[in-house]
């Protein structure tokens, strides 16, 4: 247990202690995005059933992953959505000092994959279910899959929530924000580029077409585009960095140094603050890709370039003076300026569906995706107090 039993022995029964029990269970499920999350979903379903709460499971097409949403309290308007994603990033190649899928407590910190991002928030929301049951307004719990690989799971669930449940007051997405208020995040568009060349001996370049060489030309254009985005920064923006960013995250091509590469694949992401148009930013690159594709096909039939959008998540646009912001401030006690973050999240999807949306959750994003990921006990305690105040506000 790595110290978890010791912290239990030292603390009285409370929402915090209940959350730690649940936390331990959630961390034990390896819900890396490439794998299934069904074991965790089934555990949550069993937990909700024990508390007399109904739920809806929304599986993916393959049936190996699922979203889940549930209404706690009366099914009426004016409720609050508490949203979190169940999937986590891989631990492959990271230097972990303990089992990443066993919750460990040491020196005021809970260690494990997903502690910060974002099973701590889910554990707190589940621990508060008995309190939420007493409310005159509902809490709608929403747990998604595949957030870490482009927010692919949530859209189907959000669409059904918008169609099936009475209009809620707001959605709170529990991404790590140190329990501060975040009312803006960047959007993200992820693209995959597949280049098909014509293999030949590398000494006979006139008899073939290297996919790698074409890919390098395209990546050079993207690198130039990335540098040019710096010149378009809004210095008054709350985002850090304030401009759109573009990075190439994956490259794979070729089979040997003496063979003109038959295939090359690379993938890039473009992150834009609200107001920036990703389609317009990428328009010159898309035009260049189409022109090269035509040239390649004319020289060697069957060769060419395919640019495929893997995922697209809209930004969360700040809304000054909103009712949602005022309400969440009463729960956090935070009167400082609301923040904006460079990462993408599901908040933009909820906002696009018509729900006033904010980010507020325990932990620091600086710990997310890191080896020896952790969340402090103090942040979990603050999260527990937040849930208690939310329950009180809905009575």
Instruction: Tell whether 94 and 200 lie within a shared domain.
Output: no
**What's the total number of domains in the chain?**
2
CATH of the domain at 290: 3.30.70.360
Residues 24 and 140 in one domain: yes
Query: Looking at the structure, do residues 179 and 46 belong to the same domain, yes or no?
Result: yes
Q: How far apart are CA 243 and CA 236, in angstroms?
A: 11
Q: β-strands 56-59, 66-72: how paired?
A: antiparallel
Give the residue numbers spanning the domain of 277. Answer: 187-313
Q: Are residues 236 and 333 in the same domain?
A: no
pLDDT of residue 4: 63
End-to-end CA, the chain = 37
Same domain? For 163 and 235 the reply is no
Instruction: State the number of CA atoms in the 13 A half-sphere of 115 facing the CB.
Output: 28
pTM for this model (two decimals)? 0.90
Per-residue pLDDT for 84 more than 60? yes
d(Cα 93, Cα 132) in Å, to the nearest integer?
A: 41
Same domain, 323 and 359: yes
State which of 268, 292, 313 marks the end of a domain: 313
pLDDT in tens, 245-260: 999 999 999 999 999 9
Record the tokens describing residue 296, joined without a space: 């390649």
Q: For tokens 């022995």, name the residue.
A: 9
Shared domain for 44 and 158, answered yes or no, is yes
DSSP-derived pairing of the beta strands 182-185 and 170-173: unpaired
Domain-ending residue, one of 267, 294, 313: 313
Residue 230: which pLDDT band, with cuts at 50, 70 and 90?
Answer: confident
Looking at the fold, whether 47 and 180 belong to one and the same domain comes out as yes
Claim to verify: residue 220 and residue 231 sit in the same structural domain: yes
Domain boundary at 294, 313, 332, which? 313
What percentage of the chain carries pLDDT values higher than 70?
A: 97
Same domain, residue pair 10 and 149: yes
Neighbours of 310 (CB within 10 A): 13
Active site residues: 87, 147
Find the Cα–Cα–Cα–Cα dihedral 144, 145, 149, 154, rounded to 10°.
-40
**CB–CB of 356/171 below 8 Å?**
yes
Do 282 and 348 lie in one domain? The reply is no
Domain of 339, CATH number, reads: 3.40.630.10
Q: What is the pLDDT of residue 231?
A: 78
Which pair of structure tokens corresponds to residue 231? 């010149």
Q: Which two tokens stand for residue 267?
A: 């993938």
User: For residue 210, what is the enclosing H or E element?
Assistant: none
Q: 317-331, pLDDT tens digit by residue?
A: 988 778 999 999 999
- Contacts of residues 63-66 at CB distance under 8 Å and 24 or more positions apart, as own/partner, are 64/36, 64/38, 65/36, 65/37, 65/38, 65/145, 65/146, 65/153, 66/37, 66/38, 66/41, 66/145
Q: If you ran DSSP here, which 8-state letter would residue 115 be given?
A: I
pLDDT at 209 over 70: yes
- For the record, the structure tokens of 139 come out as 């809490």
Residues 171 and 90 in one domain: yes
Consecutive H or E run containing 134: none
Q: What is the pLDDT of residue 3?
A: 60
Structure tokens at 316: 């969360």
């Amino acid at each position: 247990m790595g110290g978890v039993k010791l912290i239990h022995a030292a603390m009285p029964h409370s929402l915090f202690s209940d959350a730690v029990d649940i936390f331990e269970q959630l961390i034990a499920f390896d819900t890396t995005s490439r794998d299934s999350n069904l074991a965790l979903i089934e555990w949550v379903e069993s937990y909700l059933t024990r508390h007399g709460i109904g739920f809806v499971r929304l599986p993916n097409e393959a049936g190996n992953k699922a979203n889940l949403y549930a209404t706690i309290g009366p099914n009426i308007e004016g409720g609050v959505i508490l949203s979190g994603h169940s999937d986590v990033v891989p631990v492959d190649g990271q230097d972990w000092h303990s089992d990443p899928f066993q919750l460990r407590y040491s020196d005021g910190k809970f260690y494990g994959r997903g502690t910060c991002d974002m099973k701590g928030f889910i554990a707190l929301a589940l621990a508060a279910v008995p309190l939420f049951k007493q409310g005159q307004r509902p809490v709608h719990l929403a747990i998604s899959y595949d957030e870490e690989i482009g927010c692919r799971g949530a859209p189907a669930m959000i669409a059904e929530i918008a169609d099936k449940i009475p209009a809620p007051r707001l959605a709170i997405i529990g991404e790590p924000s140190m329990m501060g208020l975040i009312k803006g995040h960047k959007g993200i568009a992820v693209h995959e580029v597949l280049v098909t060349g014509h293999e030949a001996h590398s000494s006979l370049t006139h008899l073939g077409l290297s996919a790698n060489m074409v890919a390098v030309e395209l990546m050079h254009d993207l690198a130039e585009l990335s540098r040019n985005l710096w010149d378009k920064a809004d210095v008054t923006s709350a985002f850090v960095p304030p401009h759109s960013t573009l990075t190439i995250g994956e490259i794979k091509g070729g089979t040997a140094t003496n063979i003109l590469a038959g295939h090359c694949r690379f993938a890039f992401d473009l992150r834009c603050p609200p107001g920036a148009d990703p389609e317009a930013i990428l328009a010159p690159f898309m035009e260049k890709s189409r022109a090269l594709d035509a040239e390649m096909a004319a020289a060697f039939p069957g060769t060419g370039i395919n640019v495929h959008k893997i995922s697209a998540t809209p930004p969360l646009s700040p809304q000054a003076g909103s009712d949602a912001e005022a309400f969440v401030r009463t729960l956090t006690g935070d009167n400082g300026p609301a923040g904006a973050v460079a990462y993408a999240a599901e908040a933009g999807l909820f906002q696009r569906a018509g729900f006033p949306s904010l980010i507020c959750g325990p932990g620091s994003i600086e710990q997310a995706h890191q080896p020896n990921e952790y969340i402090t006990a103090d942040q979990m305690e603050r999260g527990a107090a937040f849930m208690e105040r939310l329950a009180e506000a809905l009575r």
